[in-house]
Amino acid sequence: MHIDAERLAKAVAKDEARRAARWQMRFRLGWAALLSMLAAFVFLSLNVEIDFIARATPFIVEGIWITLAVSSASIVLATLLAAIGALGRLSSNAVVNALASFYVSFFRGTPLILQLLVWYLALPQVGIILDPIFCAIGALGMNYGAYMTEIFRAGIQAVPLGQREAAAALGMSGSTAFRRIIAPQAFRIIVPAIGNDFVAMLKDSALASTVALHEIVWRARNIGQKEFKTLQTFIIAAMIYWTLTIVFTAVQNRIESRLAAGDRNKAVKG
Amino acid sequence: MKQLSTTPAVHALHPAEKPGVLVKPGAEPVLKATNITKWFGENHVLRGASITVWPGETVCILGRSGSGKSTFLRSLNFLEDPTDGTVEIDGVIVGADPFHKEGSERQDRIREVRMRAGMVFQEFNLFPHLSVIENCVEAPIHVKGIPRKEAEAIAEKYLAKVGLLEKRDEYPSRLSGGQRQRVAIARALTMQPKVLLFDEPTSALDPTLVGEVLKVMADLAHEGRTMIVVTHEMDFAHEAADRVYYMDQGEFAEVGPPEQVIDAPKDPRTKEFLSRFRTLGAKK
C-alpha cells in the first residue's frame, strides 16, 4: 500500500514533467515557425541583394550608438524630473503641487512628436537653437519624466501608512522618515518601472529621426530612399530594434531577479 | 476665532489615580492627558478623556471596538491630533491647536513627546528593508544622534531582554508574528522612552503566539516600566495592571484597580462588556 502510493506519486510527477517539457517544445516550435515564415516572406517577396545589404547594414547599425546615447541620457533626465515631480505631487504646498501637476498634465496631454518638433523647429523662432541631439534628449526626457512622475508617486504612496506612523512615533521628522524609511522601500517598487521605460524609450527615440538625428531609423530611411529599397532597410532597422529590445529586456530581468535575490540572500545570510 | 480657541483645562486626578505606595513621595506623573477630545468631521470620537500615569505604573485601557480607546492612545503621541485637550509627558506639554496644527515650534514639541513615548503597534510596523538591529538603532542614531556603537549596545541589551538577540541580523520577513512584535518592543525600548504605549499589541497575532508577547510585556510591567496598554487580554490586565480604564463612547466610564473594574464592575456599561468575556469561560 505504502509502496504503491510512492510509485503513484513518482509516476504523477514524471507525467507532469513530461507535459511541461512538451509544452516548452511546442512553444519554441511555434516561435521558430513564425520566424521562418517572416524570413520566407522577406526572401520571396524581395530580390535579396546581398551586396546592398552588406553595404546598408553597417551604415544603419552605426546608428545604435546614437540611439543608445539618446535613450540613456533621456532616461537619466526623466528619472531626475520624475523624482522632483513626485515630491512636488506629494507636497503639502499648494503652489509646488500645482507646478508638478501642471507639468505632468501638459507633457502627458500633448503628442511626443509635437513636443520634439517644438524643441527643434519652434524654439529657434524665439532665438533658442539647440543641437538635434539635445532636442531629442530634452523632448524625450521631459515627456517620459511626466509619465514617470506618476509612477514614482504611486511607488512612494504604495509604502504602507504604518511605516510612516512607526517612523513618526519614533520621533523622526518628515524628511528623515522619507530619506531613511519611505524612499528605500519605494525604490524597490520603482526600479522595474524605470527598466520598462528604458526599453520603451529605445523605440521612441526613433522619433528623433524627424529632427535629422542620424540614429537607426534616419539611416535606414536615408540609404533606403536613395536606391528605392526602403523595405529592405526598414526590415534591417526593425531587426536591430528587436534585438536591442530582447537584449535589454533580458538585462532588465536579470537586474530584477538580482534585486529580489538580494533581499532573499540578505535574509538568509543573517 | 478668539472664543473658539481651546482653553487649557485644569488637570484633575480621578480618585482612583492617587499615587500608589510604590510611587516615590513627591514624584510627578510621567504622563498627564487632560480633556482629550477628538472629532472626525461630525463624529465625536473622544469626549474629554483624561488620564494620569505615575512612574512605574502599568495601566490598561479596555473597551469594545469603536469605543475610541485606540484613538485616545494615538492622541497621546499625536499620531491623531486631538481637537481639544493637553498632553504632558515627562514635563513636555503639547496642547491641541486645531487651527495651527503644523506650526514648526509645535511640531518640534510633538517630536519631543514622541521621543519620550515608545509605541508598539497592532501590526508591528517593523521596517522591512532593515535588519532587526538596524530597525532598533535607526531612530536612536538619526533622531537622538547617539553614536552607532552605543546605540547597538543599547539595542542588544533590549533584544536580549525580549529573547531575540540571536536574530539581530535577520530581516523581519524571516520572523514569526510573535518575534516581530517582540522586536517592535525592543525597538521602542532602544529609544529609552519614559512611557510605553501599546495599541492592541496581540490582536494581529496567531493565538499560539500571543503568550510570548504578553510574557515580555508582563516582565516589563513587573520591573517597573511605565506602560499604557490598550488590550482585550483580560488576564493580562488583571495580572499586570495597576489600574484599569474602561472606555465607552469616547469617555472613561469606570476607572479603578483591576480587582474592582474587572471582578466587580459598578458601571452597567462595564458590566455588560465583561459579561461577554465571562460567558466565553475566561478565568476570574
- The pTM is what? 0.85
Cα(B56)–Cα(B19) distance, rounded to whole angstroms? Answer: 10
What's the pLDDT at B6? 54
* pLDDT band (50, 70, 90) for residue B12: confident
Q: Which site among B138, B187, B198 would you substitute to test the A interface, given the most A Cβ atoms closer than 10 Å to its Cβ?
A: B138
* pLDDT band (50, 70, 90) for residue A270: very low
Cα(A244)–Cα(B177) distance, rounded to whole angstroms? Answer: 46
Contacts of B128 in chain A (CB under 8 A): 185
What's the pLDDT at B278? 65
- pLDDT averaged over every residue in chain B: 92
Report percent pLDDT > 70 for chain B: 94
Please determine, for residue A268, whether its predicted confidence score (pLDDT) is greater than 70: no
pLDDT digits (tens, 9 = 90+) for B240-262: 999 999 999 999 999 999 999 99
Q: Is B148 on the interface with A (CB under 8 A)?
A: no
How big is chain A, counted in residues? 270
Cα(A83)–Cα(A193) distance, rounded to whole angstroms? Answer: 13
Please determine, for residue B284, whether its predicted confidence score (pLDDT) is greater than 60: no
Question: CA of B174 to nearest chain A CA: how many angstroms apart?
Answer: 7
Q: Is B131 on the interface with A (CB under 8 A)?
A: yes
Q: Which site among B125, B170, B180 would you substitute to test the A interface, given the most A Cβ atoms closer than 10 Å to its Cβ?
A: B125
Contacts of B143 in chain A (CB under 8 A): 170-172, 176
The span from the first CA to the last CA of chain B, in angstroms, equals: 52
What's the pLDDT at A117? 95
Please determine, for residue B180, whether its predicted confidence score (pLDDT) is greater than 60: yes
List of residues 6+ apart from B266 with CB closer than 8 A: B254, B260
Least confident of A177-181, A246-250, B280-284: B280-284
Q: Pairing between strand B243-248 and B251-256?
A: antiparallel
What's the pLDDT at A267? 44
What's the pLDDT at B2? 44
Least confident of A197-211, B10-24, B180-194: B10-24
ipTM given for this complex: 0.92
Residue B39, all three cell numbers: 472629532
State the average pLDDT over residues A130-150.
95
pLDDT digits (tens, 9 = 90+) for A208-258: 999 989 999 999 999 999 988 888 899 999 999 999 999 999 998 888 887
Cα(B118)–Cα(B220) distance, rounded to whole angstroms? Answer: 13
Least confident of B12-16, B87-91, B231-235: B12-16
DSSP string of B200-240?
STTTTS-HHHHHHHHHHHHHHHHTT--EEEE-S-HHHHHHH
